[in-house]
Amino acid sequence: MTLATRHRPLHDAATGGGKDLGDLPEWDLTDLYDSPDAAELKRDLDWLEEACREFAEAFEGKLAGLHAEGLLDAVHRYEKIDVVAGRIMSYAGLRYYQATTDAARAKFLSDCQDRITNFTTPLVFWSLEFNRLEDEHLDRLLHQSQELMRYKPVFDRMRAMKPYQLSDELERFLHDQSTVGATAWNKLFDETIAGLTFEVEGEGDDLGIESVLDLLTEPERERREAAVHALSKVFGENIRTFARVHNTLAKEKEIEDRWRGMPTPQTGRHLANHVEPEVVEALRDAVVNAYPRLSHRYYALKAKWMGLDRMQVWDRNAPLPMETKRIVGWDEARATVLDAYAGFSPKMADLAEPFFDRGWIDAAVKPGKAPGAFAHPTVSEVHPYVLLNYLGKPRDVMTLAHELGHGVHQRLAADQGELLSSTPLTLAETASVFGEMLTFKALLAKTTDPRERKVLLAGKVEDMINTVVRQIAFYDFECKLHDARRSGELTPEDINALWMSVQGESLGPVFDFAEGYETFWAYIPHFVHSPFYVYAYAFGDGLVNALYAAYEESGEAGAGDFQDKYFAMLRAGGSKHHKELLAPFGLDASDPAFWEKGLGMIEGFIDELEAMEG
């Protein structure tokens, strides 16, 4: 499953802790399958087993002798297999994420994974044999068929792995054992996190993790402090399990990377994202160099607003003293986001509206439900599904805008077909962050009260710091973790020390770190599910800041042209490289000035906040 994810502090009760949020939607998964025992599901599993066997019989050992038409037929058949397998796993996975502590759903997901892994083992030859084709031969075939040429971006990504592929036998082994490797450890992590309960002083016991994380955004400082202590206590009690998960996954990755000859732990992610390492390093360096101008400066301001000489970790996401405690009902959240989307283009609102009306959003917080939020594209023949944990806070509205941006992107890219619709992570956050920016700008334009404007600006700056500064700090932590694991087993204390090594640097000198905070790496899902994913958030935010600046510079006269280019970029999915997609806007991510332009927007907001103090 490919999930476009974010993790935000949320809550745990279907009505948001007793708040009347309105009628929160739930998923209707029948567009995938009616039930786990649906006849259509059995039919697709049976078809998939036969299709994989027939594909191997038809093409294994024969790719070099195929003409253009034969290779195109192989691609189409492979793509159909990908659709059916993706449909099954999307259904099983989404059911599981609705209730990760439900043993029957966990078993159904595992059984589907096992069967599909077994069925698709005969397909392992495909990329290996394809990469053994001579460059000149493949180039000749591509130029004989325009339809085959359309798949060149897919072929390019496959062939980027050519220097790192193993023997056919070893690749089959890795494929077969995957269900008891990383996949199993991922599931252990998910089930452990979902099963944690917390006792927070003054709040009660048996709270889920979302309930406690949500307390970190409450106005009462003692409630936030109590939440941090509760989190620290339970993470500490379970830290050996989390350390075991991280040690095992990092070591497994190190072994596979070593056998493949990958030069760094990050290489696989960069290849998958179709982005050059030097571009990621330019982004990372630009953000780290900007820490003093961004997070350090902003949090010093926030400390002043809160009347504090020193800030604690439970103050980082605290609301401002002048902020009113307002609950945003579901209908208002829907109208806010759709109106902002329509303000950019009615077409964008039209693409987002079905999510609300057709069971494509699961919004309520429920026991055992996966934390955070994500948009899952399923397969190109169906539609995306969005998961939220909606509690009616203003930041939840921004999360809705973010995930709907993913949904719009995924709907538009679906026209590319299964193999070309998947967007590399570096561009996967573009539409989501752009959707947030549209919503923020629409709210800001309607705000005339200086105090409300300050609250809005500060909230946006905090979101951007969480998206850029915090995620690059996460990336540095991962780099240090994987590098250290190469030298041997890491104790929980070792991992704690690596975590703390990036916290002060990124957040700034105004912060103190309470005892227990050193374990807070334990609950971040990205480190487990998608190593080095996190830089995609910073990439997306920097890209969108530069993109939005270009949109504002286009003015009313150029708005239509910008919209056309923007929708064309989203429709492209994974069919074009980031250089090609950004060129129509006059942007280039390989230029260090590009990242400075994006960071400059955050700096400008902080400038405005500082000016309000005068």
Least confident of 110-124, 177-191, 340-354, 368-382: 177-191
Whether pLDDT at 151 is above 60? yes
On average, the pLDDT of the chain sits at 92
**pLDDT confidence tier of residue 393, bands split at 50, 70 and 90:** confident
CA gap 8, 471 in Å, rounded? 12
pLDDT at 11 over 50: no
Average pLDDT over residues 214-241: 95
Higher pLDDT, 426 or 232: 232
- 366 CB neighbour count, 10 Å cutoff: 17
Report pLDDT for 17: 43
Considering 407-421, 425-439, 567-581, the range whose residues carry the highest mean pLDDT is 407-421
What are the pLDDT digits (tens) for 284-320? 999 999 999 999 999 999 999 999 999 999 999 999 8
How are beta strands 385-387 and 361-362 bridged, if at all?
parallel
555: three-class secondary structure by DSSP: helix
**pLDDT for the residue numbered 129:** 95
Angle 141-143-146 from CA coordinates, rounded to 5°:
105
Q: What is the pLDDT of residue 429?
A: 85
Report the candidate in 201, 129, 139, 133 with the shortest Cα–Cα distance to residue 172.
Answer: 129
- H or E segment at 373? strand 373-376
Overall pTM > 0.85: no
pLDDT in tens, 242-266: 999 999 999 999 999 999 999 999 9
pLDDT in tens, 26-81: 999 999 999 999 999 999 999 999 999 999 999 999 999 999 999 999 999 999 99
Give the pLDDT score at 614. Answer: 57
Half-sphere exposure (Cβ direction) of 276: Cα atoms closer than 13 Å: 10
Enumerate domains of the chain plus CATH numbers.
19-180 (1.20.140.70)
- Burial of 151 (C-beta count, 10 Å sphere; 0-12/13-18/19+): buried
Is the model's pLDDT at 474 over the cut of 50? yes
What would the pLDDT profile of 337-382 be if each residue is shown by its tens digit? 999 999 999 999 999 999 999 999 999 999 889 988 999 999 999 9
What would the mean pLDDT of 189-197 be, rounded to a whole number? Answer: 92
Higher pLDDT, 214 or 139: 139
Helices (H), ranges, 163-305? 168-176, 182-195, 209-215, 221-237, 239-260, 267-273, 277-290, 295-305
- At residue 3 the predicted structure's pLDDT band, cuts being 50, 70 and 90, is very low
